[in-house]
Amino acid sequence: MKLHVAPPSPRAIRVLAVAHHLGLDPDVVPVDLVGGDQRKPAFRALNPNGKMPVLEDDGFVLWESNAIMQYLAAKAGDRALWPSEPRRQADVSRWQCWELAHWGPAAGTLVFERFVKALFGQGGPTPSEVERGEREFHQYAAVLDLHLRQREWLAGDAVTLADMTVGSWLVYAQHYPVEPYREVLRWYDRLQALPAWRKALPLAPPPARQASAAREAAGATTI
């Protein structure tokens, strides 16, 4: 089994976290996005979209991070991460779809403007895009914060693919106006305490320190 990933990416982090949580040991193939690996013919043969992550498993090629996560959990028979009971599975799927449609685009706008553009030498942030990203982030962070009240995890009593999908964007919490959302910060502290999550994180910057600082600024209680 091979996973083609660029570890700083939230989509790569969540796939790796699931693999570690399941005790899998895939061959990790780094994808140098800055160097253009995603545009090379060999990679395009795996994913014609020219994006990572990509899974290879005994001749089966799968792209799209949420689909990869579902496949890994189903193959391992882990019914906690990816439930088989229809309503519980639909609940997990609901949050993965919400991430694709709302949360990811909002957070991704701010990550792109405040981090990726500098990484790729594309200039500084565009104020109108930052304003739009912050407006959408507040809209959906409020939804997430409200849902997490009196809950430890997004969908049920234990961590699921929903948490790893939505939580992956908070690796870059320093780029968002996240301080008012105490429940989100509390929940993410629980997620990043998981050994599999910490193993999947890039070496720098240290997300635990950043999330804790943001939580303390918001006056949240450690749980």
pLDDT tens profile 63-90: 999 999 999 999 999 999 999 999 999 9
Q: How far is residue 24's CA from residue 56's CA, in Å, rounded to a whole number?
A: 14
Q: What are the structural domain ranges in the chain?
A: 2-76, 86-218
> What top-level class would CATH report for the domain 2-76?
alpha beta
Phi then psi dihedrals of residue 2, to 5 deg: -125, 140
For residues 56, 60, 64, 66, the Cα torsion angle rounded to the nearest 10 degrees is -90
Answer whether 130's CB lies under 8 Å from 113's CB.
Answer: yes
Q: Rounded to a whole number, what is the distance in angstroms from the first to the last CA of the chain?
A: 37
Q: How far is 166 from 28, CA to CA, in rounded Å? A: 22
Q: Within 13 Å of residue 32, how many CA atoms lie on the same side as its CB?
A: 5
The CATH architecture one would assign to domain 86-218 is Up-down Bundle (1.20)
pLDDT value, residue 88 = 97
Sign of CA dihedral 201, 41, 113, 165: negative
β-strand 60-63 against 54-57: which pairing, if any?
Answer: antiparallel
Can you list the residues of the chain whose pLDDT is less than 50? 204-223
pLDDT recorded at residue 203: 62
Q: Output the CA torsion sign for 35, 36, 37, 38.
A: positive
Q: Cis bond leading into 83, ω under 30°?
A: no
pLDDT (tens digit per residue) in 17-34: 999 999 999 999 999 988
pTM of the model: 0.89
